[in-house]
Every structure is written in structure tokens, then in C-alpha cells.
């Protein structure tokens, strides 16, 4: 049996790094993650074995606690509040999000108004807003921009990391027509499109595809749909317990892709089971 | 004047992180980088102001020195030698390369033979080879694979991060035909193709393109060629000193992309000059 694992499968870099940092900084003393570090129950339970537990309100944390800022990032005032509590901060903000914070801080200090294309209610956007030193406006769709009529001198336009390129393009077009001095820096992260594209490419070249991830994970479902549209031998499993290896012995090459919230160890266990039992 | 900066322009994540780590760990005491941390003279000079200097032979370093492992990574034995010298190691190995080291170590310890598709002489490959616990073979092209006739049970196939997808595909095809139990994990990093694709996309939508980078940098030259093939108003500058802003006042929207070895501050200075002088 040959197994091909899709490039850009599983956790994006920012999430993997956040979990690695949390574990690396864990100890016998409890470590808090401020908010959920990942939307995967198995992984949250695994982290509990390292004394890492989520907290949703800083007020519920004791003084001098250790706390991980998750990959989404936090506004500047969260850091200030944590410092008031004498917390030890492990900053696991995704480096691509951190770059947005730096750009906002730098340009807003230099007389620019900031436009952020994204979803006002998304925690990443809430965090980014909190780094501006002057006016910052969030636009979730082109219509909101059309009805916006403030006169402005210098504008910096950035994006939430997870929006679609088409939304960026349509918003940038309107802004370009409305304003004279504008710097556009597309800060979309490619993790989602890379994951989908490599699943698509792999599905086309293998005999069967296994999509690994939570049944409720919408991005994993999307991977399943993409794969199934290309390769009808596509199967969706949550973990190794659900797979019957016997069924796959008829295939020569099996492709594997995993959702953004699927831990690597879940995939590793499944690959091991496939290889071991296909030998029998 | 409107300025659009290409997504995925400039340093790849691994190089940016290596430089950030070097600076963060610098002090009055000298910090060594083992080998050149970046192929850009202006940036190497800037790093010297932080007491960061390259060293090419561990024997030339005093005991207890501080040393940065650059993004390419190093074989296990380099770490051992540095520890013998009581060096403080700042490990700036690119996380995508580190993942290759972990996979090689894990699978080679579990009875797999490792195949690495890449260039034997590249420092990244030399480093990766040094993490294997059993046999590892490097293949630079499909012909080398065709003439390889060792019988093997379990094979793990990985790639150098910077090879082309087409090389991976042609090698994977041959390996799939020759061996029965194979795990393929495509570990190509997308930085190069993303940089080229976003330059291509931006060149198509702006009035003029500026490509920023060293005149000797082959990847910057490649960006210039890509951009020029789409937009004849493409210009190549090393830094802000070369640009005459007057010439660009006729354009409404200017796109900017930078090579993999071009520091962000070089681009920032150029954007500032463009915006300031176009107002005059």
C-alpha cells in the first residue's frame, strides 16, 4: 500500500506553533489559554494532560498566572490587563497576524487611517482593531464601502487573514476609486487555499482519498466535497477507530488530507494502522 | 498615488524569523550566525550593528559563544559539536525544515528507509540527511531513481523545500512503481511559487510595477521577468536611492514586489519616498 499525504494538510502553521508553545511552556503549575486554542476536543483533552486549560475571563485567573495568547491574537489592552495581574504571557499570536498588528501600529502612528477588510465580530479582527493609534474602519463587504463617505488623506488597507481573494479585490477596487493616497497590503494567509488546492491535486492522482477530521468541522467537510467531486473513492473519517483497513486493500495508492483542526497524531495513528494491517 | 504591495513579497517566513530571532538574542557580547543568515549585504551590515557576525568554522568560535543556527538548518552533529563548546544555541531553523528533520528522525527510527528529493549539495539537504537514524538516499532527478535498484520494505519520501512540483511528481511516479510500501509527504514550501504568483496577479492590475531587490539576486530577476511579461511598465530598483519619483507621477496605481532577500525596511523606505515626493 502506498500512502500520499497532501502538502498543507492539517493544522495551519500558526495553530501548530501555538500548541507547541503552550506545551513547551507548560509545567506543574496550571497554564491558561485565553480562549480556546483549537476547536478539537481530543486535542483540548490532550492539552489538559499538560495542565493547559482555557479561561474566558481574565478576572477568573489568579495573580501571577501563566497565560497563552492564542494564534488569533489579542488587542493591546489585553496585554495591559494581563500585566496588571502580573501574568506571565506566552505570546502565540500567529506571526502573520502579528505582522498585521505591527503594520496597523506603524501606519496609524504616521498619520494613516486604517481600513481592515474582514468580519467585525471575528476575534482576529477584534484583536487587530486594538492595535491602532488612530481611526480604523472594518468593512465586511463592498456595499459598506460604497456608502462610506469620509474624506481622508492617507489610507492603509489590510485584510483579515482568512477572507477570500475575491472580497479583497472587490473592496480594493472601490477604495482605489474613492481615495487618492492609499497603500494596499493584502494580508490574506494562503493556508486555506493551499490546503484545498493540494487536496484537489492529490485526489486526482490517487486510487482512493481519506479525509481526516471532525464531522462537525466545516473546513474538513469542504475538503471532502472537493475531493469527492474529483475522486468518487473519497472517505471521511474522524480517526483511526472508524477505518476498516480490509476495505482499502484493493487500492494501490491512497491519498490522505486532514482538516485545519485535525492534530497530526490523529493522522499518524491512522497511517500506522493502514500500513500495519494491510501487511496482514 | 496608490501603492499596492504584493502579498508574499520579500523575505519568506523562515528567513524573517531567523533574523528576528538573531536580533532578539543579540547583546553586547558577539552573536555568531553559523554561515550567512541572508544573502543581502545591506542586511548583513545592519546585523553587524547588533554584534551579529557570521562564522564559517566552529573551530573559530571561542568557548561559551552564542550562535544562531540559520533557517537552512544543521545536521544533528553540529548541535553536538556546539554543545561540546558550551555554546548557547539560538535555533532559527525554518519550522518547515524542522518538520522534515522530525519526520526523518521519526520514520528512520521506525524501520523506514528515507528518500529525499533534492540537491545533495544544498545546505538544507546536508542538514536534513544528518537527522536520519538509518539509510537515507538523495535523488536530484528521475534518472538517478531509475538506476537505483536496492530492495526495500518501507520507504518514506520527502522533498527539499525549494524543489519544483514537477520534479516531485516525476520522482514520486517512479518510486510508486518500484516500491510497495511507501509514504509520500510532499514537503515543498510554497513561498517561491506564492511570491511569483502574487507578483503576476498584481502586475496585471496596476499601471506600473516596481520590483525591489539586489541586481544579482536571481529570484528578484525572475520576478522582474514575470512582471515585465505582463506589464511593460515594470522597473527594477535596488533601493530608494535609485528611484526618481517624478517619473511615476503619471501612474495612478503602482504595484510593488520584492525578492526573497530584500529586507522590509528597504521597501518601507521606498514607499515613504514615493508617497512623500508624489505630494510635492
Q: What are the pLDDT digits (tens) for B121-142? A: 999 999 999 999 999 999 999 9
- Place A217 in a pLDDT band, splitting at 50, 70 and 90: confident
Measured between CA atoms, the residue of chain A closest to residue B161 is: A7
How far is residue A123's CA from residue A80's CA, in Å, rounded to a whole number? Answer: 18
Asked if pLDDT for residue A192 goes beyond 80, the answer is yes
Residues of B in CB contact (< 8 Å) with A are 1-8, 13, 17, 95, 154, 172, 176, 179-188, 190, 194, 198, 252-253, 271, 275, 279
Contacts of A21 (CB under 8 A, 6+ apart): A68, A90, A92
Instruction: List Cβ neighbours of B75 (8 Å cut-off, separation of 6 or more).
Output: B126, B127, B128, B129, B130, B131
**Rounded distance, CA A158 to CA A187, Å?**
6
What letter does residue B36 receive in the DSSP assignment? -
Helix, strand, or coil (residue A249):
coil
- Confidence (pLDDT) at A3: 96
Confidence of residue B39 (pLDDT cuts 50, 70, 90): confident
Task: Give A4's contacts (C-beta < 8 A, 6+ positions apart).
Answer: A202, A205, A206, A253, A254, A255, A256, B172, B183, B184, B185, B186
Interchain proximity B186–A279, CB inside 8 Å: no
Contacts of A45 (CB under 8 A, 6+ apart): none
Give the least confident one: A40-49, A140-149, B230-239. Answer: A40-49
pLDDT band at A13 (very low <50, low <70, confident <90, very high): confident
pLDDT of residue A123: 93
Q: Do A186 and B5 touch (CB under 8 A)?
A: yes
Q: What is the pLDDT of residues A70-95, one digit of tens each?
A: 999 999 999 999 999 999 999 999 99
Is B271 within 8 Å of A17 when comparing Cβ atoms? no
Q: Is the pTM of this model over 0.95?
A: no
Interface residue of A100, A186, A249, A268 to substitute, partner B, most B CBs within 10 Å:
A186
Q: Which of A74, A124, A225, A269 is catalytic?
A: A124
Which residue has better confidence, B201 or A215?
B201
Closest chain B C-alpha to A45 CA, distance in angstroms: 24
User: Looking at chain B, which residue has its C-alpha nearest residue A188?
Assistant: B7
| Residue A177: exposure state from Cβ atoms within 10 A (0-12, 13-18, ≥19) | exposed
Q: 3-state DSSP call for residue A154?
A: strand
CA torsion angle for B83, B89, B93, B98 (degrees, to 10)?
Answer: 50
Q: To probe the interface with B, which of A2, A94, A201 has the most B CB atoms within 10 Å?
A: A2
Residues of B in Cβ contact (< 8 Å) with A95: 13, 17
Strand ranges in A214-252 using DSSP code E only, listed in sequence order = 234-237
Question: What is the nearest CA distance from A41 to chain B, expressed in angstroms?
Answer: 24
Q: Is this prediction's ipTM beyond 0.85?
A: no
What pLDDT sits at residue A215? 86
Q: What is the mean pLDDT of residues A231-239?
A: 96
Q: Which pLDDT value is given to residue B77?
A: 97
Banded pLDDT at B213 (limits 50, 70, 90): very high
Q: What is the mean pLDDT of residues A160-170?
A: 92
CB-based contact B183 A3, cutoff 8 Å? yes
Q: Catalytic residues of B, which ones?
A: 124
- The band of A158, judged by pLDDT with boundaries at 50, 70 and 90, is very high
Tell if the CB–CB gap between B95 and A253 is shorter than 8 Å. Answer: no
Least confident range from A226-240, B130-144, B185-199, B224-238: namely B185-199
Asked if A203 and A227 count as a contact pair (C-beta separation under 8 A), the reply is yes
**Burial of residue B91 (number of CB atoms within 10 Å: 0-12, 13-18, 19+):** middle
Q: Would you call A124 a catalytic residue per the annotation?
A: yes
Does residue B42 register a pLDDT over 90? no
A78: β partners:
none
Q: How many Cα neighbours within 13 Å face the side chain of A232? A: 0
A50-59, A176-185, B35-44, B231-240: lowest mean pLDDT where?
A: B35-44
Q: Rounded to an integer, what distance in angstroms lies between the CA atom of residue B42 and that of residue A241?
A: 55
C-alpha cell read off for B174: 517512479
**Locate cell 528512520: which residue?**
B108
Span B228-252, average pLDDT: 95
Q: Is the CB of B181 less than 8 angstroms away from the CB of A1?
A: yes
Cβ atoms of residues B3 and B271 within 8 Å: yes
The predicted structure's pLDDT at residue B151: 94
Set of cell numbers at residue A28: 506543574
Would you call A157 helix, strand, or coil by DSSP?
A: strand
Q: What is the pLDDT of residues A110-154, one digit of tens each?
A: 999 999 999 999 999 999 999 999 999 999 999 999 999 999 999
Amino acid at each position: 500500500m502506498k500512502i500520499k499525504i497532501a502538502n498543507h494538510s492539517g493544522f495551519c502553521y500558526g495553530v501548530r506553533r501555538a500548541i507547541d508553545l503552550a506545551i513547551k511552556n507548560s509545567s506543574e503549575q496550571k497554564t491558561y489559554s485565553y480562549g480556546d486554542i483549537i476547536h478539537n476536543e481530543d486535542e483540548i483533552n490532550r492539552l489538559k494532560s499538560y495542565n493547559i486549560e482555557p479561561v474566558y475571563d481574565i478576572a477568573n485567573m489568579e495573580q501571577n498566572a501563566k497565560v497563552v495568547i492564542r494564534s488569533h491574537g489579542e488587542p493591546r489592552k489585553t496585554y495591559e490587563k494581563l500585566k496588571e495581574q502580573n501574568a506571565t504571557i506566552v505570546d502565540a499570536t500567529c506571526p502573520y497576524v502579528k505582522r498585521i498588528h505591527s503594520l496597523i501600529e506603524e501606519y496609524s502612528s504616521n498619520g494613516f487611517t486604517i481600513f481592515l477588510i474582514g468580519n467585525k465580530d471575528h476575534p482576529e479582527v477584534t484583536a487587530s482593531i486594538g492595535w491602532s493609534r488612530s481611526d480604523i474602519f472594518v468593512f465586511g463587504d463592498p456595499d459598506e464601502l460604497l456608502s462610506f463617505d469620509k474624506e481622508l488623506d492617507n489610507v492603509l488597507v489590510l485584510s483579515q487573514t482568512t477572507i477570500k481573494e475575491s472580497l479583497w479585490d472587490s473592496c480594493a477596487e472601490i477604495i482605489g476609486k474613492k481615495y487618492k493616497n492609499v497603500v494596499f497590503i493584502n494580508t490574506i494567509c494562503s493556508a486555506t487555499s493551499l490546503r484545498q488546492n493540494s487536496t484537489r491535486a492529490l485526489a486526482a492522482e490517487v486510487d482512493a482519498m481519506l479525509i481526516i477530521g471532525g464531522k462537525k468541522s466545516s473546513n474538513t467537510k469542504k475538503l471532502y466535497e472537493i475531493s469527492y467531486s474529483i475522486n468518487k473513492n473519497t472517505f471521511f473519517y474522524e480517526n483511526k477507530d472508524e477505518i476498516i483497513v480490509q476495505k482499502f486493500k484493493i487500492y494501490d495508492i491512497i491519498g490522505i488530507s486532514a482538516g485545519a483542526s485535525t492534530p497530526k497524531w490523529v493522522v499518524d495513528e491512522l497511517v500506522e494502522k493502514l500500513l500495519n494491517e494491510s501487511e496482514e
